[in-house]
Structure 1
Amino acid sequence: MTTALLISLVSCLLAINQAIIMHRCDVAKLLYKEDLHGFEGYPLSAWLCLAFVESKFNTSKIKENADGSFDYGIFQINSHYWCNDYLSHSENLCHTDCIELLNPDLLSTVNCVKKIMSGGGGLNNWIEWKLHCSGRPLSYWMTGCRLA
């Protein structure tokens, strides 16, 4: 357990030192490729708004919460419920290590997001979505982006 914790901490520090802030249209292409456009009724522009308000498109963002859990990646997925960070108790409902949610290919992130969405509540599962995206025009998030 101590070795796993040490490896996880070192990996997190390496990821922080190599912050990857993606361009909006590059995020759109990856999310489109992973079939998030229209997923659970949300257009790609909604997912872009969520990614921006949660992380400013920073795939390596890690934020500590008051309860001792951490939020990871472009969608700030919480370690208490969704991934295992070996730092705090986790239900690990996505069956993934939190460090995987920092990968700029977004594959593990999208798989976890789909699991989160399957529980109901839609994008309202994210407080930042409710505060900054819900009920607002979002089509401008796709301006200038070509998916092909």
Structure 2
Amino acid sequence: MKALLPRPLFLLASFVVAVQAKVYERCELAKRLKDHGMDSYQGYSLANWVCLAFFESSFDTEAVARNKDGTHNFGIFQINSGWWCTYSDTASDNLCEIDCQELLHPGIEHDILCAKRIVEDPQGMAVWDEWKTHCENQNLTEWVKGCHL
């Protein structure tokens, strides 16, 4: 006997399959970021962006982290729901004017646009603690080495 899912459940299952995470390879991400104008954006090298993405999400577009203050960080750059995007009923300034769920898609265009907005603020990349800890003032050439950009 063939079991069928009720229509709403079937549609939900289809949606889940359609928005599966993508974990980028280092050079694949570097190329995508370069193609979207991230190399030297606001003075930050492409290697800075790749380093940031690695330490924030391990290049995983579907990464989500819950913070102690109740906010969440989303996507490949771990963009915070308290400031940059809106999520559920969490209060947010939504400075990127985006729903946080958009930052979880395999295509990272929304993430890139929001990251560009973030680094335009006075703190620049220093808003990301992982960047300050692992990337700032470091030799980052290895992050793009061999990528043929």
TM-score (norm 2): 0.85
Query: Structure 2, unaligned stretches of length 5 or more?
Result: 1-11
Moved beyond 6 Å, runs of 4+: none
Equivalent of residue 53 in structure 1, options 52, 55, 58: 55
Deviations along 1:59-100, whole A, 9 cap, x unmatched?
110001111100000100000110011241111110001011
Does 2:88 correspond to 1:93?
Answer: no
Letter in 1 for 2:86: N
Taking the aligned partners of 2:58 and 2:31, their CA distance within structure 1 comes to 16
Query: Structure 1, unaligned stretches of length 5 or more?
Result: 1-9
1:19 alignment partner in structure 2:
21
3-state SS of 1:101 partner = helix
Aligned length: 136
1:113 alignment partner in structure 2:
115
Equivalent of residue 146 in structure 2, options 133, 140, 144: 144
Taking the aligned partners of 1:113 and 1:93, their CA distance within structure 2 comes to 11
TM-score (norm 1): 0.85
* 8 Å contact kept, 2:51–2:140: yes
Equivalent of residue 128 in structure 2, options 105, 126, 142: 126
Letter in 1 for 2:84: W
Deviations along 1:35-54, whole A, 9 cap, x unmatched?
00000111101100000010
* 8 Å contact kept, 2:85–2:100: yes
Deviations along 1:11-35, whole A, 9 cap, x unmatched?
xx948x9332110111111110110
Measured after TM superposition, the shift of residue 105 of structure 1 is 1.8
Measured after TM superposition, the shift of residue 126 of structure 1 is 0.5
Larger radius of gyration between Structure 1 and Structure 2:
2
Bigger share in helix: 1
Taking the aligned partners of 2:106 and 2:22, their CA distance within structure 1 comes to 7
Does 2:68 correspond to 1:66?
Answer: yes
* 8 Å contact kept, 2:63–2:104: yes
Taking the aligned partners of 1:146 and 1:38, their CA distance within structure 2 comes to 17
Taking the aligned partners of 2:139 and 2:121, their CA distance within structure 1 comes to 26
* 8 Å contact kept, 2:20–2:105: no
Q: Percent identity?
A: 41
